[in-house]
Amino acid sequence: MRPQLFRALTYPYSTRLQLLALLDRAFNFLSYDEKIAIGAIERPHYGHCLLQSALQARALGHESIAAIELGVSGGRGLLALERHAERVEAETGVKIQVYGFDLGSGMPKAADYRDLPYVWQAGFYRMDVEALRARLSRATLVIGPVEETLKSFFQTHNPAPLGFVAFDMDYYSSTSQAWALFSAEPSRYLPRVACYFDDIVGDLDYGFNDFTGELLAISEFNATHSDRKLARPSGLRHSHKRVPMSWHEQIFLLHLFEHPAYCRLTNTLHQQQPLPPSSKRLRIVGD
């Protein structure tokens, strides 16, 4: 049996959700948030992070935010991020600035075992820079070593507050170098920055673990920063009646505890729960 067919027939909820997704493509009746919730849209994790960041920004009075993809490769992710930016702008009214960072020439040589060289090698994921630039509609493509380009990012581009970062650096060493992005003053960020890490879930052949790769880089970041921490949002896959998907385990928030707006209310849900009418009582089985 073909792998795609086997996955379609065995993946949890697949038959029902694929039918719903097909109907939505034909009649476009699901909301953007609903498309994300059931995975009926390309890279739903980009959409979810971008949408939630824009809602946080709107609650804080920001008119625009910045979104970054680190590790662009052929450009599919950056093009998808552009499309999500258009949808999120329409949903929230918050403008989205999009940036993509990549070496351009493919992956560098692995530094040591922490870069998982049994998974990746130098030269993987080369980019056709000019072809991709011609396809981009809004994103700014920044080519060069991230240890150099990220250090000057805020001074060179003067972006809106950073709201979302997609990490697809593969290597431990490259991800560690990318922490330069999180070293600016608090005003350069939203109080909580959504982050997606591409290379932290997989089967035994990848062997992702806390002692190598992106997970090790995250642990070291947290160990060396007291006022800024990367943490998974607990229970993400169970909230809003969302269908459990692997990307729920790949989302982190950068919490900037020292941010002047960190404690400002951004949750817009109704927070008061009045008593029920006196005629109502708890229904008990057999009552």
pTM of the model: 0.89
Contact, 136 vs 178, CB < 8 A?
no
At which residue do the structure tokens 């990318």 appear?
A: 178
Average pLDDT of the segment spanning 232-249: 79
Question: Is 60 exceeded by the pLDDT of residue 280?
Answer: no
Question: In this structure, what token pair is assigned to residue 178?
Answer: 């990318």
Phi-psi region of 262 (alpha: psi -120 to 50; beta: other; left: phi over 0): alpha
Domain ranges in the chain are 1-30, 43-256
The predicted pLDDT at position 243 comes to 73
d(CA 79, CA 88): 14
d(CA 238, CA 236): 5
Confidence of residue 29 (pLDDT cuts 50, 70, 90): confident
CATH class of 43-256: alpha beta
Q: Give the contacts of 108 (CB within 8 A, at least 6 positions apart).
A: 122, 171, 174
Q: Specify the higher pLDDT residue, 2 or 267.
A: 267
Average pLDDT, the chain: 90
